[in-house]
Structure 1
Amino acid sequence: MGNADIRQLAVIEPKPFEELAGSVVAIDAHNWLYRYLTTTVKFTRSEAYTTADGEEVANLIGVVQGLPKFFEHDITPVFVFDGGVTELKDDEVQERREQRETYEEQLAEAREREDSEAAEIAALESRTQRLTDTIQETTRELLALLDVPVVEAPAEGEAQAAHMARYGDADYVGSEDYDALLLGAPYTLRGLTSKGDPECMEFEATLEEHELTWEGLVDAAILMGTDFNEGISGIGPKTAVKLIREHGDLDGALAARGESIAHADRIRAMFLDPNVTDDYDYDTDIDPDIEAAKRFVTDMWEVPAEEVERGFERIEESVVQTGLDRWT
């Protein structure tokens, strides 16, 4: 998820969609998918995304509703999926699992109570969502039918997306997490799953703003706390930057405070030298098979046609229009 306090350090500017036309965006797939998944569950009746066998595929509705935004603005999304989770992130994963189990217990109790309101149940349902094997597999299959590029990361999808952008294989990273900045993503688009235009988080401008190197920015973040470690009590963004600038690096800052952080060198490496691959290839000329995608969603996975009809119409209309625009 990343530390939201990093926002106080990041240089972030509005980015109108019209300025993004023709660009390639490496999407942190799990981040993007989870947001549409929880939104779909919150605002859609459960019968619409539950098969006769009890499989939940709200992701299919979310994908069909979320993709048109890219196509309508002539943006090519490349979805980058997570591989394995680093062991240093195990504590965070366990914490999320325990929180979800708590929500599941609350949901079961709410369903049994006669005074439970639909809004309460919907909110709890959205909080209990997880990316099951079925959700991950069907998302990949639907993206393939729609000819949307997919890259499989060896570890963190966000790190792989940042790597692709750093080496010019994508113009932007698409993620709601602020860790993309620490991973060196030159430009990160936030708000792609929200209404209105996104905002752009700029890496080099952030370094210049605080007179830090990439290493210094990461060290400041470690002092504040990351997905891989708890920060030092009492150290926020301004203090973290001040300490790094005064003492040169994380080690110097910790020594000055009489503090220590376990696995500090490994945490640095997670951001500065993450596990990524150059073994990927994709075509940005998208030619979706709309009819096959419709059959996959409505026939194979039993999603009512009316739940995805408008989304598919928008995809078809935008792809056709984009093709015409490119030829004129």
Structure 2
Amino acid sequence: MGVDFGDMVERQEISLKDLFGKAIAIDAYNAIYQFLSIIRQPDGTPLMNSRGEITSHLSGLLYRNTNLIEGGLKPIFVFDGEPSKLKTRTIQERNEVRIAAERLWAEAKKAGSAEAIKFAQASSKIDTQIVDGAKTLLRHMGIPCIQAPSEGEAQAAFMAINGDAYAVGSQDYDAILVGAPILIRNLAITGRRKLPGKNVYIDVNPENVELDSILSTLEITREQLVDIAILIGTDYDPGVKGVGPKTALKLIKKHGAIEGALAELGADIENFDAIRDVFLHPDVASDYEVKWREPDENEVESFLCGRHDFSEDRVRKALERLVDASDRRQRTLDQWF
């Protein structure tokens, strides 16, 4: 799930209050995947309706977004489009991992093993039905949905650069590589969470990561940060074996760019120029519209309760909170005019 250089970057723990009034362009696939992974029964079985359709993501989108909007945030969900052909290897590998996880989950569940939940989470996948359901619910809730031509995080970063969003919401640091000025992590999982495979709970808070701060602290350019990521390994390349963040940083600072680093290592990364270009000049759309609307209570209730068997009482309580929060937001906007 993106490049792993978390140890290299400074992450500032914040609260939702720090994001009051801010529009956050959320990587939709990233958030949905988290909901699909986390919202499960003890044996790993996801929430489902009477027809066997998975609804874990719908539960996460309803309740988490209600919390965010109550906190004064203005979420925008940005959905992936067609992935780059350079990502084919990674997609194939992930599919193989999921297939293996499904088999291990079935075996663990049959044996009553506590590891069932771990394998179940690894088997999570997003399909067209899940994406369509997510978009339908979000629109009924009055939350903008933006369709990216390619990577959602790149489109979200473009919107933040343009000033249409304060930050990108995602767990993946790739958002920084594609130019997001600010990355907010843990938005979808903020709160008290149980550690996987352990009877231990921790408090998870949002984290603020700033591109300029990273570049200033490491004394590098964004182009060099991208080269570091390519050496470590990204969704588009496996990187160089044995090269981690510290070594990659040292090599790029020594040589200035990936070409010299590869020469010293005696290594080769296929299509590194094209990979670099994907990060520095991603495929994005400029003809998007960001507009929040009032929640349609009847449509939300019909969709969740009528079609997906959600509890009417719980959905109505969530809707009361959502509508109240949306009204407060509108009253705040009206004060400016």
Tell whether the structures are fold-level matches, with TM greater than 0.5.
Answer: yes
Amino acid at match of 2:278: M
Could you tell me how far 1:63 is from its partner in structure 2?
1.1
Seen in structure 2, the aligned counterparts of structure 1 residues 48 and 247 have a Cα distance that, compared at 3 Å, is: closer
In 2, distance between residues paired with 1:201 and 1:287?
31
8 Å CA contact 1:81, 1:151 repeated in 2: yes
In 1, distance between residues paired with 2:43 and 2:327?
29
- SS of corresponding position for 2:33: helix
1:130 is matched with: 125
Identity level (%) = 36
The two structures have a TM-score, normalised by structure 2, of 0.88
Matched, 1:27 2:44: no
1:166 aligned to 161, 180, 188, which one?
A: 161
In 2, distance between residues paired with 1:317 and 1:89?
43
1:297 aligned to 296, 300, 304, which one?
A: 304
In 1, distance between residues paired with 2:26 and 2:245?
27
In 2, distance between residues paired with 1:27 and 1:261?
31
In 2, distance between residues paired with 1:47 and 1:201?
31
1:2 is matched with: 2
Seen in structure 2, the aligned counterparts of structure 1 residues 312 and 36 have a Cα distance that, compared at 3 Å, is: farther
* Alignment of structure 1 residues 254-265 onto 2, 5 Å: 254-265=262-273
1:216 is matched with: 224
* Alignment of structure 1 residues 190-209 onto 2, 5 Å: 190-193=185-188, 194-195=190-191, 196-209=204-217
1:156-193 CA distance string (max 9 Å, x none): 10111111111211110000001111111000000102
Seen in structure 2, the aligned counterparts of structure 1 residues 94 and 247 have a Cα distance that, compared at 3 Å, is: same
Could you tell me how far 1:275 is from its partner in structure 2?
0.9
- Equivalent residue pairs, number: 322
1:247 aligned to 255, 260, 281, which one?
A: 255
8 Å CA contact 2:79, 2:146 repeated in 1: yes
1:199-222 CA distance string (max 9 Å, x none): 111001111111111111111111
In 1, distance between residues paired with 2:210 and 2:42?
33
- SS of corresponding position for 1:283: coil
8 Å CA contact 2:45, 2:120 repeated in 1: no
Could you tell me how far 1:306 is from its partner in structure 2?
5.0
Amino acid at match of 1:3: V
2:112 is matched with: 116
| Structure 1 portions without partners, runs of 5+ | none
8 Å CA contact 1:27, 1:174 repeated in 2: yes
8 Å CA contact 1:57, 1:134 repeated in 2: no
In 2, distance between residues paired with 1:36 and 1:293?
19
1:93 is matched with: 91
Amino acid at match of 1:301: H
Could you tell me how far 1:107 is from its partner in structure 2?
2.8
1:139 is matched with: 134
In 2, distance between residues paired with 1:167 and 1:323?
23
Which one scores higher on RCO, CA 8 angstroms, separation ≥ 6? 1
In 2, distance between residues paired with 1:63 and 1:185?
23
1:320 is matched with: 327
Matched, 1:280 2:288: yes
In 2, distance between residues paired with 1:107 and 1:176?
25
Matched, 1:55 2:53: yes
The two structures have a TM-score, normalised by structure 1, of 0.91
- SS of corresponding position for 1:49: coil
Q: Aligned Cα RMSD in Å? A: 2.2
2:240 aligned to 232, 243, 257, which one?
A: 232
In 2, distance between residues paired with 1:123 and 1:171?
34
Matched, 1:12 2:11: yes
In 1, distance between residues paired with 2:102 and 2:316?
31
Greater helix proportion: 1
